[in-house]
Amino acid sequence: MNAEIKRGSLEMIAAMLISGTIGWFVLMSGQPVINVVFWRCAVGALVLLAICGALGQLRRDCLTRVTLLLAVAGGVALVINWLLLFAAYSYASISIATAVYNTQPFMLVALGALFLGEKLTARKLLWLALAFVGMMLVVLSQPKQAGEQSNYLMGILLSLGAAFFYALMALAAKRLKGTPPHLIALIQVTVGVVMLLPLVDFHAPATAGQWGMLATLGVLHTGLMYVLLYGAIQKLPTNLIGSLSFIYPIAAMLVDRLAFGHRLVALQFAGAAIILLAAAGMNLLGERKVKLTATPGGKQASEQ
C-alpha cells in the first residue's frame, strides 16, 4: 500500500467513524430537528467558508449559472434529507434508521435509469430485489404494541424519504463534475441556513452542553468531515471508497447499542445485514467487474 492510498484510507475511516456518531449528537442535543439542522448548516457554513477561502475557491470562475443552480437544488435535497433522517432517529432508533437509509444506492440507480438513461442490468435488479427482502424483514419486525408500531413505521418511512432525497442530491452532484467539492458543500449548507431561518425556534431552551453538541455537528460532522471525505475520495480508487463507506452504518449501530442500549432483534438484524450486503454488492462487485473488463491499453471500461 503506497503512502497516498494509506493516507486516503485513514481519512476515509476517520470520516466514516465521525459520521457514525451523528445520531448520538443529534439526540443528545435535545433540540427540535429543524434547530439541529439549522445550526449544523450555520456553523458548518462558517467552517467551510474559511476552508474554501484558504483553498482559493471563492472565485467567480469556479461556478457558472447552471452549476450554481444545480448546487442549490442539491442543497435543498440534502437539507430535507437531514431533516427526515434526524427525525427518524427518535421513531425507529439510530440502528434501524441507518440500515433503511442505506437503501439510497438503489434509489440512485432507479433515478439514474429514469432521468439519465442508465441501463438497469440483471445484476443491479438482483441486488435491488435482495435489498427489498431485507426491507421487508425490517418492517415485519415492528413492535407488537399499537403505539410503538406506528412510531416504528413512521421511522422507516422517514428513513426511506431521507434516502430518496440523498439520491436526488447525488443525482445533482453527478452534473457537477469539475466543481470544487468544498465549494459545493458550502453552497449546500448556505441553502440550508436560508431555508430553515424562518422556521427556527431561537427561544428553544438549551444548556451549554447542548450548544456544544450543535457546535460539534457543525465543526466536526460538517466542516472537518467534508475535508476528510473529499481528501479520501481524491486519493482512493472507487472500490476502496465503497468498501470503507460501510464503516458508517456499522459505527452508527455500535454507538446506538453502547449509548442507548438498542439491540436489534433477529429479524431486524437479518434485514439490516441483507440491506448492507445488497448495497455492498451493488457498489463493490460492480467495481470489480469494471476492473476485469479493462482494455488492453490499460484504460478501464465504464461500468455497465
Domain hosting 122: range is 3-144+160-200+236-286
The answer to the question of residue 208 being in a domain is no
152 found inside a domain: no
292: confidence class by pLDDT, cuts 50, 70, 90: very low
pLDDT score of 285: 62
What global pTM score does this model have? 0.86
Within a domain: 212: no
Q: Is residue 35 part of a domain?
A: yes
Q: Does residue 48 lie within any of the structural domains? A: yes
What are the DSSP calls for the chain, one per residue?
--HHHHHHHHHHHHHHHHHHTHHHHHHHT---HHHHHHHHHHHHHHHHHHHHHHTT---GGG--HHHHHHHHHHHHHHHHHHHHHHHHHHHHHHHHHHHHHTTHHHHHHHHHHHHS-----HHHHHHHHHHHHHHHHHHHT--SSHHHHHHHHHHHHHHHHHHHHHHHHHHHHHTTTTS-HHHHHHHHHHHHHHHHGGG--TT----HHHHHHHHHHHIIIIIIHHHHHHHHHHHS-HHHHHHHTTHHHHHHHHHHHHHH-----HHHHHHHHHHHHHHHIIIIIHHHHHHHT--TTSPPPPP-
Instruction: Out of 134-143, 146-155, 255-264, 277-286, pick the least confident.
Output: 277-286
Whether 299 is in a domain gets the answer no
- Domain membership of residue 298 (yes or no) is no
In a domain, 129, yes or no: yes
- For 77-128, the pLDDT digits (tens) are 999 999 999 999 999 999 999 999 988 888 888 888 888 777 878 888 888 8
Number of domains in the chain: 1
